[in-house]
Structure 1
Amino acid sequence: MNPCGRKSTVNADEWREIVELRQSGESISGIATRLTVSRNTVRRALNFEAPPRDHRPRSGSSADALRPRIAAALDADPDVTVAQLHRELEWSGSRNTLASAVRRIKEERSRPTDTRTSSVRTSSATDIPLFSTSFVGRSEELNRIRALLGDSRLVTVAGPGGIGKTRLAAVAAAAYRRAFADGVRFVELASLRSETLLPQTILDALGFDERDTPERSATESLLEAVRTKQLLLVLDNCEHLVRACAELISLLLRKTEHVKILATSREVLSIPDEHVHVLEPLSMTDHRDPGRPGAAIELFESRASAALSGFAITDSSRDAARRVCTQLDGVPLAIELACARLTALSVEDLAERLDDRLALLTTGNRGGPSRHRSLYATVEWSYDLCTTQEQVLWARLSVFSEGFDLAAAESICAGVPVDAASILDTITGLIGKSVLQRTTGEGRVRFKMLETIRHFGASKLSDGDKAELRVAHLRWCAALVRTARRSWTGAEQERVSTRLRENRANLRSALQTALTDRNQETLHLASSLVATWFLWSSAFSVREHRMWVTEFLGHDDMAEDVVAQLNATLGLLQTMQGERVQAARALATAARRARELGDDATLAFALQTQGLNTYLGGNFEAGERHLSDALALYERLPGITDLMWTAHIEMGMLCSSRGETERAAENFEFVHAQASVTGERWMLSYAVYGLGLVALVRGRHDEAITHAMNALALNRAFDDTVGATLVTDLLAWAEAAAGSGERAAVLLGAASSMWESFGMQLYGSRHWVQRREVYESRARTSLGDEVYTAARRRGSTLSIAELIAYALDEEPDDSPSTSSHPVVGLSPREMDIAQYVAHGLTNKEIADRLVLSVRTVEGHVAHMLRKLGVARRSQVAASLAAATRARLE
């Protein structure tokens, strides 16, 4: 849906009209206003050399301005006639036009708005896990969690490993997300080993809603981020951080009003606000009909048919299947692992072998909880069925956090008896045994282990093996970053950026290894990795990158050259966060040490960042001097193209601030030309941004908008909040200058929220803030305070995906599906809502009780009233009673 309510497509006749108006000298803004379309639509149409083949009629009507009043009238009386509306709204236009507007509103309300478990999709800021297998046997638990969340703010799904806590939480997150105005955030904690990183990890998952300034702690920033939000926060796998999670969750509940938390953990949090839902094993029989098989048998058949094409439980195999599920205590993970054996065994063979093996292994693990014994026995049995090579590789692969690719496995885990050439075949065998999971994304294949399986593998390693693997893992991570450095200004940049992003957990684990081991080799490898200046754009957030740099600078036995590099990187991070004084000190230290060592590359970097820092602070002359000195050094140094380009971008920004548009354009065009030749895209996005900035200063607003949108499209391939924020602000300014007040306000709200996610607004630069205030004033004046404030607030809640879709006029992907089970003419959901309506609850109160959005409830109420044949909410109770009596008769 077009966020502005304007058309995003044109038919052939409209295309011709746009072309003719443009040829007659009409501006893009003028064409957009005359034809009631967006300016972006006009620009796209002008890019076509011939009329589009899709002849669609023009959407919208003159009655659209009455939509809020029509909607309010329909809320009061869903069956109000067009004639009544014509009189009540004092509509002077055609009744047919009004009827069309009413019909469109009713059609929009009738579209399904509830996300069901069959359509699990990703959250916009933090991914909700996706599963390729069906969701089996937990519908009642899903409804129970909905009810608990309706009554309380903290629900913990507790149970042993492998019981299905994560799967249930993921499905719940997708199903309930529309009930929360600020969305759902799913935070996976399994790979997090440091309690101190817990607030930052959650803060990172919030996307644009982070509220952070450099002087705040991560906890303070997190509290500020969610203080006024209506949000569902899902924290998955809390057990190994249970104390820290309990303390932070308690604080969140005390300091906010509308944040709800769904946690999964093997151990309950044991805090007063907690409502615990213990997730039981899947049942062997259907409790509603004991003669029917239960969810465990259903899961067995589902997973067995996935492992063995055409599999189905027959009369002859039903008892054996039940025996298997009973011996496995109905634990989903255990059932899935057992089903993988059906490629070589019949169900009867599986039951017989499982009987003997479980009895033996359970006896050997009497100290653990009963269901842990069953799960352990299943994993142990799966381990024993592996070849020696598979067992060894399983254990070695446990060194990875959150996943790995084939190249990483070959680099780190090869060695007797699994050489590099046999890694692929061995991984294939582990996938077939359900030990590894294969995932795909962005054209790449990766592998991961469930945490239970990963910990089991690690238990098979000796202390010496673990130490050697951790060092090999660190070396691999360091090599990964070195490769990124070498490829950062070429066509491979986007690919290596993706590899950094998908290995974030591995990088964290490797850095922690170095800090723990504290020997010269690991410290040097890790500190060189952390000193890489652009990691904040792909591997870590600005705040986390700074944390790691500070950690390594705290070690006295660091090499001098690395200390200089770390200080230069720290100065850059502090500059981006707006900490002028601290940045100046770090950069002065870096420059001094670099001069003493004769390290011109680090000296140039320090001088360049000093130039940026002083320019943003308002001293243009000193800023230009430092930048010029850095550029002179870069001219003499081979292989530092990335930083040289960055210095040109920063010089261009300085020149644009001084109104020297020719010089500014020269710097931006230099980077644009160089990056375009090499196929680089990240710095290209900054160069395009810069050209948009020049266009804005020159008063070419439409050109500035086009450049800003192109820059945002380029930047989206990277995890660069800083660049996306800078471009969004420019787009907002250009929109305000072009007269699009509402669009400018939304973008300003989004940009402001994004700046606060890593530091001060507009780098804490007073002259940049003053520039923004000019455009804010234009937008506010054109809209009025009330409309401007509402639009700006709407922008502040946008996720990165929603912002980009809005900024680029893209259609969001949102097509939830529903299922219905009629009861007395109503679906189960409609029946629930009817009961609440009968008891006098408002739509908002019903939405809170059922963890649904108010809009969803409104749609259900309208359907329910129509099905019951009544016009007023007050008539529902009597209608339900009559319908029930008629059904009984």
Structure 2
Amino acid sequence: MKSNGGLLTGGASFVGRRRELAMARKALIRGRLLTLTGAGGVGKTRLALQIVEHVKGTFRDGVGVVELGTLETGELLESAVASALGLRDAGPDPMNVLVDHMSGKRMLLVLDNCEHLFSICAPFVDRLLRVAPRLRILVTSRQTLGVYGEQVLTVRPLAVPDPARPLGEIARHDAVRLLEDRMADVLPGFSLAAGNACRVARLAQRLEGVPLAIELAAARLRTMSLDQLIRELDKPIDVLAADTCATLPRHHSVRATTEWSFGLCSAAEQRLWARLSMFPAGADLDTAEAVCSGDGIDAADVLDLLAGLVDKSVLCCDRRERGLRYRMLESLRAYGCERLAPSEKNLLRGRYVDHYRQLVEGSQIDRIVPDQLERYRRLQVELPNVRVALEACLSTPPLTRVGLDIASALWCYWLLAGSLLEGRYWLERGLDLVREPGRTRATALWADSMLALRQGDLVIALPRLEECLDLARRPGNEAVLPYAIGTAGVAAYSSGDHERGLSLLQESLAVHRAGENVDGVMLNLYYASAYGSVGHPGRAAEFGEELLALCEKHHARVSRAYAQLALGVARWNLGDCRRAEALVTSAAMFTGEVNDRWCLTQCLEVLAWIAGARGEHWRAAGLMGAAHALWQTMGASPERLWYHAAWHEHCREQARRALGGRAFATAFRQGARLGQDRAVSYAVAG
């Protein structure tokens, strides 16, 4: 659980703030809520993460750091916090799941960059503190929350010296130490000395000790001398106040230095800075070229312009498996948003939406292709940017249908990521707006029904599914029909009618086979194997074997894990414990590694049954506890899944009788506290 931070949370060393660190540690002992407040760019996020490093050992249940700067809308605050804490989906009421999760835990929750969600964060924090007596919360915000018991630590600029003082005294000031450190990054070998101390102190004074201002100014030493830099900063600058907070004196140096840094960029670099502010999760080169080029920026020049903004410390460059990614500190992104004219933003919106529509459609995980895992990871990285595209679509009437198409194409991602609540949020917003009885609405109806069924929400799923079946039988919507029939089969199983469920799944499978739709065949084989494993285990095993062979043929690693799980459950019901364990253990190892919680949770559940069958009741109880913690995080339960319910109850009662109520509760509780990584290790250790 960690924040994506920004420029000042990267690999650069942390300098100073000993007084603030000591005060923060005492405050977190004395009270339960501490807010770090101060100007943008003063270093609140960096200080918060340093505080975490100092105090994390005192919190038995760990530290959760939640970056809220990339969250554009407050409606998803609770589910975003739940997701960052590993509660990948919190069901229809994420606040209740958060309360259940935190109520008995001794942990620290860090909420970074809260100011834009102030009106929602304040009551959210207040409720958590009331129901979780051992919880501590650390907030960074330009505005205090005003919650009862809130302690406020104002993060001020770093101390600056009088340039006339001796070298030793100048060197002790934090602003000078940070400036020296950053100058050495730009000018290898640079160090503070008698010959430059006065000028360095003067520069630190001119920048008023603000870390972001120091970062931006030091970057200019690549192209100008120290004396030139001081002269440039001494020139009058038109400080544009973005809001009332920016008019306060301590905010002027941040604003002025940002304005000055913007002014030193070329016209093309300025345009790119402003355009990149649309991307809360940053962008790679291909995306920057696709969305940001044109109208003053040649696509061939984008790489050089990105390099120029990196050199000026406007952008931070991260190395990832898929290449370089460029991101911006929230303060600089906010400034860029101000510089993006409404007409230009409207022009770019179409490109932005089109880019992410294509990215999502090209990254669908419910395709039996070799790069399934890469698609999943791509969507994980791009999700904050995809949210912006979804919000833009659903807030712009001509684009609502596109937004609903994007949300529907993500249905499998929402499932694997355990983000069923968020998926339903976007789908149901779109369904409220797109009323035309066409393919877009029909597809969204079955996607929303499927997610609701996984949560056991039959009240919503069944009427949506009924409408979907009606629309799918109309001309032009025929491609949706087999998916609607297959989902109806899952609904029948969920309602307890396994004969009808199997019949509908076989009907859907036949249509997919006739149309040579291998992706549809894959989905229906999974449903038929998993859901049919209790009522028709022999037939379910045949479906599972076919599915596993299909996934291996197409090198579809994500689907292969689901095939192993479904076949494992079928083999278990046929009494083949050894094959079931091998299949499910393999699936657990893979899904634990890639953070596919939906499959992993089910694997832990099945491995608990196997342990119980061997008489290893303590282990069975522990695995059930580990699974229980994950079931809770997803707002789901084994009782709501046809193929888990009976065996779950049998395993639980068997272990309770063998161990006794108190010992069972102890083992169960220990398993629930393992956390995902340790739970996987425990499960696969055998």
- 2:314 aligned partner: 435
- 1:419 aligned partner: 298
Which residue among 231, 235, 247 is the counterpart of 2:107? 231
Question: What whole-Å deviation, never above 9, does each CA across 1:454-473 have from its counterpart, x for those lacking one?
Answer: 11112222111111222221
Secondary structure at 1:485 match in 2? coil
Could you say which structure has the larger radius of gyration? 1
Residue 551 in structure 1 maps to residue 399 in structure 2: no
Secondary structure at 2:451 match in 1? helix
Q: Percent identity?
A: 32
Residue 197 in structure 1 maps to residue 63 in structure 2: no
CA contact (8 A) 1:207 1:799 kept: no
- 1:186 aligned partner: 65
Which residue among 125, 144, 168 is the counterpart of 1:249? 125
- 1:513 aligned partner: 392
| Distance in 2 separating the partners of 1:409 and 1:760 | 39
Which residue among 275, 287, 290 is the counterpart of 1:408? 287
Which residue among 522, 538, 542 is the counterpart of 1:645? 522
- 1:882 aligned partner: none
Residue 733 in structure 1 maps to residue 609 in structure 2: yes
CA contact (8 A) 1:665 1:694 kept: yes
Q: 1:690 to 1:363 in 2, by over 3 A?
A: closer
Question: What whole-Å deviation, never above 9, does each CA across 1:90-145 have from its counterpart, x for those lacking one?
Answer: xxxxxxxxxxxxxxxxxxxxxxxxxxxxxxxx65xx77886311111023322211
Which residue among 353, 378, 394 is the counterpart of 1:474? 353
The AA in structure 1 aligned to 2:493 is Y
Residue 655 in structure 1 maps to residue 532 in structure 2: yes
Moved more, 764-773 or 564-573: 764-773
| Distance in 2 separating the partners of 1:335 and 1:199 | 35
| Distance in 1 separating the partners of 2:33 and 2:510 | 58
Q: 1:704 to 1:793 in 2, by over 3 A?
A: same
- 1:317 aligned partner: 196
Measured after TM superposition, the shift of residue 477 of structure 1 is 1.0
Which residue among 461, 470, 474 is the counterpart of 1:592? 470
Q: 1:745 to 1:245 in 2, by over 3 A?
A: same
Which residue among 535, 543, 564 is the counterpart of 2:413? 535
CA contact (8 A) 1:208 1:750 kept: no
| Distance in 2 separating the partners of 1:763 and 1:448 | 43
| Distance in 2 separating the partners of 1:262 and 1:460 | 32
| Distance in 1 separating the partners of 2:685 and 2:321 | 23
- 1:348 aligned partner: 227
Superposed counterparts of 1:124-523, under 5 Å: 131-208=10-87, 212-214=90-92, 217-285=93-161, 290=169, 292-356=171-235, 359-362=236-239, 368-485=247-364, 488-519=367-398, 522-523=399-400
Q: 1:432 to 1:293 in 2, by over 3 A?
A: same
Superposed counterparts of 1:101-112, under 5 Å: none
Residue 631 in structure 1 maps to residue 479 in structure 2: no
How many residues end up aligned between the 2 structures?
Answer: 677
Secondary structure at 1:756 match in 2? helix
The AA in structure 1 aligned to 2:566 is G
CA contact (8 A) 2:434 2:441 kept: no
CA contact (8 A) 2:368 2:556 kept: yes
| Distance in 1 separating the partners of 2:580 and 2:393 | 47
Measured after TM superposition, the shift of residue 706 of structure 1 is 2.5
| Distance in 1 separating the partners of 2:77 and 2:485 | 35
Q: 1:128 to 1:617 in 2, by over 3 A?
A: farther
The AA in structure 1 aligned to 2:447 is T
Q: 1:564 to 1:693 in 2, by over 3 A?
A: same
Point out which structure has higher relative CO (alpha carbons under 8 A, 6+ apart).
1
| Distance in 2 separating the partners of 1:672 and 1:765 | 21
| Distance in 2 separating the partners of 1:750 and 1:301 | 49
- 1:583 aligned partner: 461
Q: 1:762 to 1:585 in 2, by over 3 A?
A: same
| Distance in 2 separating the partners of 1:127 and 1:486 | 25
| Distance in 2 separating the partners of 1:786 and 1:127 | 42
| Distance in 2 separating the partners of 1:590 and 1:719 | 31
| Distance in 2 separating the partners of 1:163 and 1:127 | 17
The AA in structure 1 aligned to 2:192 is I
- 2:492 aligned partner: 614
Which residue among 679, 682, 685 is the counterpart of 2:555? 679
The AA in structure 2 aligned to 1:198 is L
| Distance in 1 separating the partners of 2:662 and 2:638 | 25
CA contact (8 A) 1:497 1:718 kept: no
Measured after TM superposition, the shift of residue 506 of structure 1 is 0.7
| Distance in 2 separating the partners of 1:175 and 1:809 | 33
Measured after TM superposition, the shift of residue 752 of structure 1 is 1.4
Moved over 4 A (4+): 126-130, 289-292, 362-367, 556-559
The AA in structure 2 aligned to 1:410 is E
| Distance in 1 separating the partners of 2:309 and 2:607 | 50
Secondary structure at 1:185 match in 2? strand
Question: What whole-Å deviation, never above 9, does each CA across 1:423-462 have from its counterpart, x for those lacking one?
Answer: 1111111111101111123453211101111111122221
Question: What whole-Å deviation, never above 9, does each CA across 1:135-183 have from its counterpart, x for those lacking one?
Answer: 1102332221111010101000111001111111122223322322222
Moved more, 629-638 or 127-136: 127-136
| Distance in 1 separating the partners of 2:364 and 2:170 | 64
Q: 1:510 to 1:204 in 2, by over 3 A?
A: same
| Distance in 2 separating the partners of 1:224 and 1:734 | 29
Residue 795 in structure 1 maps to residue 671 in structure 2: yes
Moved more, 491-500 or 569-578: 491-500
Measured after TM superposition, the shift of residue 344 of structure 1 is 1.6
Superposed counterparts of 1:746-765, under 5 Å: 746-762=622-638, 764-765=640-641
| Distance in 2 separating the partners of 1:431 and 1:324 | 22
| Distance in 2 separating the partners of 1:776 and 1:539 | 27
Measured after TM superposition, the shift of residue 275 of structure 1 is 0.2
Secondary structure at 2:238 match in 1? helix
Moved more, 763-772 or 644-653: 763-772
CA contact (8 A) 1:399 1:470 kept: no
CA contact (8 A) 2:111 2:137 kept: yes
| Distance in 2 separating the partners of 1:302 and 1:145 | 25
Residue 572 in structure 1 maps to residue 447 in structure 2: no
- After superposition, the CA RMSD in angstroms is 2.5
Secondary structure at 1:156 match in 2? strand
Measured after TM superposition, the shift of residue 655 of structure 1 is 3.3
| Distance in 1 separating the partners of 2:265 and 2:641 | 61
CA contact (8 A) 1:231 1:260 kept: yes
- The alignment's TM-score, normalised by the length of structure 1, stands at 0.73
Which residue among 475, 479, 487 is the counterpart of 1:601? 479
Q: 1:724 to 1:174 in 2, by over 3 A?
A: farther
| Distance in 1 separating the partners of 2:394 and 2:578 | 51
| Distance in 2 separating the partners of 1:799 and 1:671 | 31
Measured after TM superposition, the shift of residue 279 of structure 1 is 0.7
Measured after TM superposition, the shift of residue 631 of structure 1 is 0.3
CA contact (8 A) 2:106 2:134 kept: yes
Secondary structure at 1:157 match in 2? strand
| Distance in 2 separating the partners of 1:442 and 1:594 | 41
| Distance in 2 separating the partners of 1:555 and 1:291 | 62
